[in-house]
Amino acid sequence: MLENIFGSNTRVMLLSIFFNSPEKPFFVRELTRLVNGQINSIRRELSNLKSIGMIDIIDNDKNKLKKFYKLNDKFIFFDELKSIFEKGKLLTQKKFIEKIQKTGDIKYLLLSGIFTKSPESPVDILIVGRINKNKMALLVKNLEKAIASSIKYTIMDRKEFEYRKAICDLFLFSLLSHNKIVVIDELEKKEE
């Protein structure tokens, strides 16, 4: 049975999507876009996961043509697999943060949103400093693919951040008042 769970990269990506949103049903074309894969391989993997009881097909009253698939939270290894995918996500995020720190001169790095399970947060990442925006865009794109979720981020220089903070900017105030993880905070240091 375990061979059927982790037999392919497509299967791992599908499981990552399902464990990222365990309550949400997905249809095949949606999963194909999220995985960026071939529809036949997605269907094959869904069939394999369905055959071992890991996912269920959900009836859709509105559109009988679309089959929706949802994670089966009664699956015998559900809790163990959930733990594995959560730990895998944490490791991916840790490596991502290490890579961000190498993109330039970062004075402040804040994580919120998907990193703190605060969906009401206006962005997931706030960076204050000077960084290579192309490298950052590529890092975000790769992380989005790895965790099968979109990431919103904002980059601003120190001057803009301090100005927005001084005028109680709604965006910044909202971000700073939600659950957050401050990874880097060098804003208080005196410039020499």
The residues near 95 (Cβ < 8 Å, ≥ 6 apart) are none
- Angle CA(161)–CA(165)–CA(168) in degrees, nearest 5? 140
pLDDT at residue 156, as a whole number: 96
What pLDDT does 74 receive?
A: 93
DSSP letter string, 2-62 = HHHHSS-HHHHHHHHHHHHSTT--EEHHHHHHHHT--HHHHHHHHHHHHHTTSEEEE--SS
- The reported pLDDT for the residue numbered 107 is 94
CB 152 within 8 A of CB 113: yes
Predicted confidence pLDDT, tens digits, the chain (192 residues): 444 567 778 888 888 889 888 888 998 988 988 888 899 999 999 999 999 999 999 876 666 677 899 999 999 999 998 888 888 777 777 888 888 888 889 999 999 988 888 888 999 999 999 999 999 999 998 888 777 778 999 999 999 999 999 999 999 999 988 889 898 999 876 544
CA distance 79 to 101: 33
By CB neighbour count within 10 A (0-12 exposed, 13-18 middle, 19+ buried), where does 36 fall?
exposed
Q: Give the pLDDT confidence score for residue 62 in this predicted structure.
A: 65
CA distance 9 to 118: 29
Dihedral (CA of 19, 89, 185, 109) sign: negative
**Which residue, 136, 36, 140, 21, is CA-closest to 82?**
21
Domain ranges of the chain: 2-76, 90-185
Joined tokens for residue 26? 């997905």
Task: Report whether CATH 3.90.1640.30 matches the domain 2-76.
Answer: no
Tell me, rounded to whole angstroms, the distance of Cα 186 from its chain centroid. Answer: 26
